[in-house]
Amino acid sequence: MSGSDEEKVHRTIERVARESYGRLVAYLSVHTHDLAAAEDALSEALLKALTAWPPDGLPQSPEAWLLTAARRSVIDAVRHQRVVSASEPTLQLLQENTMETKVSTEFPDERLKLLFVCAHPAIDPAMHTPLMLQTVLGLDAARIAGVFLISPKTMGQRLVRAKTKIRDGGIQFEIPEPSDLPERLDAVLDAIYAAFGIGWDDLIGIDGRGRELAEEAIWLARVLLQLMPNKAEVSGLLALMLHCEARRPARRGRDGRYVPLSEQDPNLWSLPLIEEAERHLEEASKHGRPGRFQLEAAIQSVHAERGRSGQIAWTAIVEFYEQLNRISPTLGRTTGYAAALAEANRAEQALAVLDAIDADAVSAYQPYWAVRAHLLQSLGKGREARQAYDRAIGLAEDHAVRDFLLQKQAHL
Partner 1 sequence: MQFALLIYESPEAFAARKSDGTDPYTGAWRAYHKALVESGVFVGGDPLEPPETGTTIRIKEGKRGVQDGPYADTKEQLGGFTILELPSLDAALEWAARCPAASSGAVEVRRLAPQTKHRVAG
Q: Does 403 bind partner 1 (CB under 8 A)?
A: yes
Q: Does 257 bind partner 1 (CB under 8 A)?
A: no
Give the count of beta carbons closer than 10 Å to the beta carbon of residue 286.
9
Give the count of beta carbons closer than 10 Å to the beta carbon of residue 269.
20
Site string for partner 1, 328-367 (x = CB under 8 A): -----------------------------------xx---
* CB of 241 or CB of 396, closer to partner 1: 396
* CB of 294 or CB of 366, closer to partner 1: 366
In the complex, the smallest distance separating the C-beta of residue 154 from partner 1, rounded to whole angstroms, is: 7
Q: Does 128 bind partner 1 (CB under 8 A)?
A: no
Q: How far apart are CA 23 and CA 109, in angstroms?
A: 6
Q: How far apart are CA 284 and CA 305, in angstroms?
A: 18
Q: Does 406 bind partner 1 (CB under 8 A)?
A: yes
Give the count of beta carbons closer than 10 Å to the beta carbon of residue 156.
16
CB 34 within 8 Å of CB 73: no
The interaxial angle of helices 292-309 and 232-246, nearest 10 deg, is 40
User: Using CB under 8 A, which residues numbered 142 to 181 contact partner 1?
Assistant: 149-151, 154
Q: Does 1 bind partner 1 (CB under 8 A)?
A: no
Question: Of the candidates 243, 242, 250, which has an alpha carbon nearest to the alpha carbon of residue 215?
Answer: 242
Q: Does 124 bind partner 1 (CB under 8 A)?
A: no
In the complex, the smallest distance separating the C-beta of residue 387 from partner 1, rounded to whole angstroms, is: 9
Q: Does 394 bind partner 1 (CB under 8 A)?
A: yes
User: Which segment (1-9, 108-116, 189-197, 385-393) binds partner 1 by CB under 8 A?
Assistant: 385-393
One residue of 24, 30, 42, 395 binding partner 1 per CB under 8 A: 395
User: Which segment (66-74, 94-102, 240-248, 395-403) binds partner 1 by CB under 8 A?
Assistant: 395-403
- φ, ψ at 131 (rounded to 5°): -60, -45
Q: Tell me the residue type at 229.
A: P
Compute CA distances 23 → 111, 187, 223, 401, whole Å: 6, 20, 10, 39
* CB of 276 or CB of 398, closer to partner 1: 398
Q: Tell me the residue type at 399.
A: H
> Residue numbers of the site for partner 1 (CB under 8 A)?
149-151, 154, 363-364, 389-399, 402-403, 406, 409-410
